[in-house]
Chain A
Amino acid sequence: GQQLNQSPQSMFIQEGEDVSMNCTSSSIFNTWLWYKQDPGEGPVLLIALYKAGELTSNGRLTAQFGITRKDSFLNISASIPSDVGIYFCAGQLANGNQFYFGTGTSLTVIP
């Protein structure tokens, strides 16, 4: 299957700081999705990206579809304690149906 490299694996930040994480692939993807998973829950879709270069925001979250179509970035501004969780990226090939998931970034926000 496709390998998605997500980094960093974990982050410990102070409340109020900005956060950046990214996902890279060896393949060209047509769609990038970003999810957040809270303990004991299923992943919840945060942002969906469909065009190279696309920049999409959802509140304090902003994600970008990389120009090469092999990467994507997620930024969280002014982090708050409820941002704690695991963030996953997922990519879909141009002629594919399934999504390939990154290994996740665990975010801890220290009040």
Chain B
Amino acid sequence: DAGVIQSPRHEVTEMGQEVTLRCKPISGHNSLFWYRQTMMRGLELLIYFNNNVPIDDSGMPEDRFSAKMPNASFSTLKIQPSEPRDSAVYFCASSARDRSTDTQYFGPGTRLTVL
């Protein structure tokens, strides 16, 4: 299995630009999670989906952030407009949601720098 795939791996953009991060979960997994990691705040859960449906988006910082999962094999996290304080590493993770043996596998992350 290829694991969780994220693109791009690195993104440098200017303040005010729209940023779209992409994720392909592990095939067969039915839950998908978006995290943000910074030195100051560690790993923060932004939003997660079960069977393509957003379940909890309470971690999304503000309206500038939005996430979609149009099908079981693809999700996007969009920031519009981006700001310097959005600079962080964004991880996508997926799980098979078997209640007795739930685990979570992370992608390699997208390092976002907003100038």
Q: Does A23 contact B (CB under 8 A)?
A: no
Find chain B residues with CB under 8 A from A110 CB: none
Interface residues of B in 58-115 (CB under 8 A from A): 91, 93, 97, 100-109, 111
Closest Cβ neighbor of A94 among chain B residues:
B99
Select one of A33, A42, A90 contacting B108, CB under 8 A. Answer: A42
Give Cα A5 to B83, complex, Å: 31
| Chain A 36-49 interface 0/1 with B at a Cβ cutoff of 8 Å (1 = within) | 00001111110010
Q: State whether B106 touches A42 (Cβ < 8 A).
A: yes
**A103-B42 contact in complex given A42-B91, A97-B50, A98-B48, C-beta closer than 8 Å:** yes
Q: Does B56 contact A (CB under 8 A)?
A: yes
Select one of B31, B100, B105, B108 contacting A97, CB under 8 A. Answer: B31
Total interface residues on A, CB under 8 Å, equals: 21
Whole-angstrom distance between the Cβ of A29 and the nearest chain B Cβ: 11
Q: State whether B43 touches A50 (Cβ < 8 A).
A: no
Give Cα A90 to B33, complex, Å: 14
Find chain A residues with CB under 8 A from B91 CB: 42-43
Q: State whether A41 touches B108 (Cβ < 8 A).
A: yes
Secondary structure class of chain B's binding surface, majority of residues: strand
Give Cα A33 to B106, complex, Å: 13
Q: Does A88 contact B (CB under 8 A)?
A: yes
Give Cα A101 to B43, complex, Å: 7
Give Cα A60 to B103, complex, Å: 21
Q: State whether B104 touches A90 (Cβ < 8 A).
A: yes
Whole-angstrom distance between the Cβ of B45 and the nearest chain A Cβ: 6
Q: A41-B109, A101-B42 are in contact. List 4 more A-B contacts (CB 8 A).
A: A45-B104, A88-B43, A97-B55, A99-B104
Q: Which A residues fall within an 8 A CB radius of B?
A: 1, 31, 33, 35, 40-45, 48, 50, 88, 90, 92, 97-99, 101, 103-104
| 5 A-B pairs in the complex with CB atoms less than 8 angstroms apart | A42-B4, A42-B109, A45-B103, A48-B101, A98-B45
